[in-house]
Structure 1
Amino acid sequence: MTAPTPPARITPRVLGTGPLPDGLERPGPGAPAHVWLLRISSHAAALSADPSGLDVFDATERQRHQAFIRAADRDRYAVAHVGLRRLLGGYLGTEPGDIVLVREPCPLCGGPHGRPAVSDDGPHFSLSHSGDLVLIAVAGSPVGADVEEIPTVSVADDVARSLHPRERAELAALPPADRTLAFSRCWTRKEAYLKGTGEGLAGGPEHTYVGTGAEPADVTGWALVDVTVDDGYGAAIATALPRSSAH
């Protein structure tokens, strides 16, 4: 059975500070991922007004949250991870604080730092945050999500040295005014893909071509989709395709 061709771009659902939408059903294998957007500025105010929201954290999350020196970093972590637990609780029909989060083995070395996962066969998920935005993808197969503030030309040019040779050539051919947007498209696709595989940047941004153009390139076994977010940001998700539809 061939999976439907994914769209080149999707618009996420915005998760507000109120109750979750009713009837959240976890997507099955091969179904499109559910993509959610949170704005840190609004959620941080709600957590500040009711700090009991942080009670959903496990010991590791509490330790990481308290380790941040800057208040902005603590807020970003709190909003992202409370939002993730709220969503997973909605999909699983359980209390957010009862969800046990684990790490899968790294596909490169076998160490305990691969994809984050829900124990006991929960849905696949991926979380990313940058600036004022948090992006969360929930799927029935391995998934990666990435959101990034669009960088300056100098930063884009510097990081572009680590990309696939075809991507470096495509960016070099563009004027500076167009290069940052093209780089942002490429980098968020690449981060999403490498998070989806569980390799992270250790997997090598130079190995897989994802493209810098308006539509993502085809990547064997994966569906890459750009995500429409706020101005000044780029975002993408990568979802593993069922074996029968991988190309």
Structure 2
Amino acid sequence: MWCVRASGYAARAAADEWLLDAEERARVRAFVRDRDRDRYRVAHVALRRLLGAYLDEDPAAVGLVREPCPGCGEPHGRPAVADAPFHFSLAHSGDLTLLAFAGTPVGIDVETDPSPEAAAEIGAMLHPRERAELAAVPHRARPASVGRCWTRKEAYLKGVGIGLAEDPAVTYVGTGPAPADLPGWSLTDVPVPPGHAAACAVRRPGHDLPAPASRPSSLTAADRHEFRA
């Protein structure tokens, strides 16, 4: 897994925008707010740099596709590189972008803690057991508990490939300090700065992804952090 801060990498990502394909550049231009544009560009330039390093290819030449959706079969499932020996997932929120790579399907999510009002709204949509757990949590601690639960849920559903097409009330992932055990999946909370929550889901059985063939040249130590779960 990799963590990139938009504030530290935005200028370099802007200079490296040429690495993006036409669709990605169109998405960059479509954003109204600079911070949203920077966050998207940082995430996708970092993704291409890392894919190029893992594949030992020109990052600009890496072709991204969408896998078939497990629910309907249409091509809007997990993002992928055709014929790559690994899977990947990315997420961004606030200043943080997280990228995960694994030998089996993987999903990652990061979110800033919701406001108390948003936490109440999200909490009402969760699994009945999760709602019961939240009811026992002091009000001041509920936003962090909801954020923790939501990132676990999104990471798992992104790994499965259906995202929020599944009702958030269906799969139980838990709101407590440790995520629930999901058959066939390894679900782990990811350490991130205070005020955020993050989680990663990897389908079992997995195998370690080899180190990149070359270190991504523009991801300096000041810009990124590599860590393993």
**Is the counterpart of residue 216 in structure 1 residue 179 in structure 2?**
yes
1:122 CA drift (Å): 4.1
2:69 and 2:76 in contact (8 A); partners too: yes
In 2, Cα distance between equivalents of 1:64 and 1:122: 27
CA distance in 2, matches of 1:43, 1:72: 12
Equivalence map 1:70-149=2 (5 Å):
70-149=33-112
TM-score, normalised via structure 1 length: 0.81
**Superimposed CA distance per residue, residues 92-121 of structure 1 (whole angstroms, 9 cap, x where no aligned partner):** 111111110000011111111100001122
In 2, distance between residues paired with 1:120 and 1:72?
Answer: 34
- Pairwise CA distance, 1:184: 1.3
Quick check: 1:189 aligned with 2:152?
A: yes
**1:40 lines up with 2:3 in the alignment:** no
Q: Distance in 1 between matches of 2:90 and 2:20?
A: 16
SS state of the match for residue 68, structure 2?
Answer: coil
Aligned alpha-carbon RMSD (Å): 1.2
Output the CA distance in 2 between the equivalents of 1:82 and 1:195: 20
Q: What is the Cα deviation at residue 242 of structure 1? A: 2.0
- Tell me whether 1:67 sits opposite 2:30 in the alignment: yes
Pairwise CA distance, 1:203: 1.4
Q: Residue 225 of structure 1 aligns to which amino acid in structure 2? A: T
SS at match of 1:162: coil
Which residue of structure 2 aligns with residue 227 of structure 1? 190
Q: Which runs of 5+ in 1 are unaligned?
A: 1-34
Q: Give the Cα–Cα distance (whole angstroms) in 2 for the partners of residues 143 and 94 of structure 1.
A: 22
The alignment of Structure 1 onto Structure 2 pairs a total of residues equal to 206
Report if aligned partners of 2:64, 2:79 keep a CA contact under 8 Å in 1: yes
Q: CA deviation at 1:81?
A: 0.2
Identity of aligned residues (%): 58
1:177-217 deviations in Å (ceiling 9; x for gaps):
22111111111000000000011101121111101111111
1:87, 1:161 → 2: CA distance? 38
Distance across 2 between alignment mates of 1:152 and 1:75: 24
Mapped partners of 1:137, 1:223: distance in 2: 13
SS across alignment from 2:124:
helix
2:201 to 238, 242, 247: 238
Q: What amino acid does structure 2 have at the position aligned with 1:199?
A: I
CA drift of 1:154 comes to 1.2
Distance 1:232 1:138 in 2: 25
Equivalent residue for 1:172, pick from 135, 138, 151: 135
Helix, strand or coil at the partner of 1:219: coil
**4+ runs deviating over 6 angstroms:** none
So what's the TM-score if we normalise by structure 2? 0.87
- Aligned in 2, Cα 1:122/1:74: closer, same or farther, shift over 3 Å? farther
Unaligned runs of 5+ in 2: 207-229
The secondary structure found in structure 1 opposite 2:84 is coil
